[in-house]
Structures are given as structure tokens and as C-alpha cells.
Amino acid sequence: MNHTPVLLKEVLEYLNPKSGENFIDCTVGFAGHALAILKQIAPSGKILGIELDEKVIKKLKLSENIILKQGNFANLKKIVQECHFQPVNGILFDLGISSWQIEQSGRGFSFLRDEPLDMRFDNNTPDLTAEKIINQWPEKELIEIFQEYGEERYARRITQGICGVRKNKSIKTTSQLVEIIRQTIPAKYRRQKIHFATRAFQALRIAVNDELNNLKKTLPQTLEILEPGGRLVIISFHSLEDRIVKIFFREQAKERSLEILTKKPIRPDQKEINLNPRSRSAKLRAAIKL
């Protein structure tokens, strides 16, 4: 499974894994980061890899030193207790969506494919889908989603387009939604470098999976789990996620619970962006538990 881990060199630098230590990868995905950490903590160190998407877990065949657990990192403390996984010397979050989910999951994450409007990371979760939001949520709430989670300047126009169409028929596929967006935004906005549907799709995905609230729930739990001197590294891809992490780090630094290791977020260099264009919006922040 071809998956390029983002900011790998920097993750290893800030986590600083040593032989015999234990780490948690809260978003293990296809284990790009986890396998690199494992090399440094061998032979006796272990990794607890948490992954929300059951289909991804089923595709993984990893070393016995990586314990895989299907679940939501919002329940981090409970998962750690169930797995009797301690001590913990470092925790990693990579909040990006994997290439496999975009290209092969068939759940409507990509505006370049014609797929059902699902967008759930885990098919076993409650049945809130992008289709349900698009067809059933009130106009005011749709505008708020696109404005807040997508920072979409044409949120109102796009929502009016959606509401106009759904009066007569259900909007069920990604291509139907892309066409509505295309027809409601100004022509010059369609020709920008970033695809015109990017922000709306991102907003829906965040809403379906409650991504921002899950991040807010898990951050305080990391402090209960980490050993003193343990490290916390978080890669975000969205300004709202990055803001949540920045505020949490700042508050905990004031409380003397954490020392911040990254004065400014670490960004990928041009070489990495050329090799892996999806890394372009990545921001890494790191801290150490006092």
C-alpha cells in the first residue's frame, strides 16, 4: 500500500524515539510513520496504532510490536486502558486524510470521482453522512458549515444552489454536488489553482466525522497518558485544527504541564511538496510533558 508519510524526518526529530520506548500513533493509517518509529525503538519498544477505518485495519499486516486497535482517538484513554499499554513515551497525531481514502474507499471524499455522498471514515458509525447533511439540514446550518469548516467565501451561494436543487430531487453523488458548486460560483473562482469544490468537500467531511470536537476531546487525555518527558507531536492540515492545537499547547505551557518545542509550526519544504503535493498544507507542532 503506497502511502507517503508527511514530515517524516521532523516527526522522528521531535518524537525522538529510543530503543525500548513505547509510542501511540493515534491515526496509524497505512503505518508510514509507525514503521519508521518502530525501527528506532526496536527490539523491545512497542507501538499502539489506533485507526478509525476498519477497512484500513484489515489491509494492514504489521510487526507484532505494533498493536492495532480500531477506534476513535476521542476515546484515547479508554483504548489505552483496554490495551494495558504503558508507559507511553510519545504520542503522534497525523490529522490528514490518506490517499487510499480519497482514491479507493468509494466514500465520496474526492470531488474528482463520481461516488455516493458518504464521507464517513468508519462505516460502522452512526448514519450521519454527507448526503444526509446536504439533503436534510436547514439552509442556515449548511451556510455555517461551509463558512466555518471550509472557510468558503461563497457559502451562501452554494447553499442556495443546493436548496434549489433538493426541493425537486435528492442530491446523492459527489458529481451532482460538484456541478451545483460549479454553477453557483463566479467563473473566475472556478479557474483557481485549488479546485473550486475543495473547501465545500472539506467542510462536509469535518462535519460528518465531528473532527474538531474529537480533537478537542483527545488533547487533554494525552497529558494523562504520557510519562513525564514524553512527547506529543501533532500534524494538522486545516487552520481550525491548527488553532485548536496551538491554543491547547499555549494553555498547558502556562499551567507548566507542557513545554512547547516548536515556536512556529513546522512546514514541509518545497522538495517534499513536489514529491507529495498533499503535504502542502501540513503544519507540525510538538511539545514535551513536564
Final residue in a domain of this structure, among 209, 229, 254? 209
Task: Answer yes or no: do 193 and 218 share one domain.
Answer: no
224-244 in b/e form (b: 16+ CB < 10 A) is ebbeeebbbbbbbbbeebbeb
Task: Answer yes or no: do 137 and 162 share one domain.
Answer: yes
Residue 102: is its pLDDT beyond 80? no
Task: Answer yes or no: do 58 and 116 share one domain.
Answer: no
Residue 40: is its pLDDT beyond 90? yes
Task: Answer yes or no: do 132 and 179 share one domain.
Answer: yes
Say if 156 falls within a structural domain.
yes
| Contact predicate 85/22, CB 8 Å | yes
Confidence of residue 126 (pLDDT cuts 50, 70, 90): low
| Contact predicate 263/286, CB 8 Å | no
pLDDT in tens, 109-124: 888 889 999 999 887 6
Count of structural domains, the chain = 2
Task: Answer yes or no: do 73 and 124 share one domain.
Answer: no
Overall average pLDDT of the 201-207 stretch? 95
Predicted pLDDT of residue 193: 80
Confidence of residue 217 (pLDDT cuts 50, 70, 90): very high
Q: Which domain holds residue 221?
A: 8-100+211-289
The pTM of the whole model exceeds 0.75 = yes
Say if 1 falls within a structural domain.
no
Task: Answer yes or no: do 202 and 263 share one domain.
Answer: no
Residue 101: is its pLDDT beyond 80? no
Say if 77 falls within a structural domain.
yes
Task: Answer yes or no: do 170 and 91 share one domain.
Answer: no
Task: Answer yes or no: do 73 and 216 share one domain.
Answer: yes
